[in-house]
């Protein structure tokens, strides 16, 4: 059954923006699942994920400052 209130499909630009947002948020999702799991991971398990997030944030910060 279709939602009758649904009027407009996202534009190609909106889909691309959503894809970039998902790619940006994926490492945060991964580390959140790792840390909040019931296994209580040790530093050696989540350090690489934290480092990956740091690298992404640094890269995005440089891009913003370059604009």
> Across residues 30-58, what is the average pLDDT?
78
The separation between CA 29 and the C-alpha centre of its own chain, rounded to angstroms, equals: 6
Rounded CA separation 33/64 (Å): 28
Rounded CA separation 25/23 (Å): 6
Report pLDDT for 49.
Answer: 79
* Count of all residues that appear for the chain in the document: 67
Q: Is 8 left (phi over 0), alpha (psi -120 to 50) or beta?
A: beta
Q: Is the pLDDT of residue 3 over 80?
A: no
Q: Which residue has the higher pLDDT, 23 or 63?
A: 23
Rounded CA separation 21/56 (Å): 12
- Among 28-32, 40-44, 60-64, top mean pLDDT goes to 28-32
Q: How confident is the model at residue 67 (pLDDT cuts 50, 70, 90)?
A: low
């Amino acid at each position: 059954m279709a939602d009758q209130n649904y009027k407009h499909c996202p534009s190609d630009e909106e889909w691309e923006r959503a894809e970039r947002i998902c790619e940006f948020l994926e490492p945060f999702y991964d580390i959140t699942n790792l840390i909040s799991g019931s296994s209580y991971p040790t530093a050696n398990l989540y350090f690489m994920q934290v480092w990956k997030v740091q690298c992404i944030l640094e890269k995005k910060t440089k891009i913003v400052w370059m604009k």
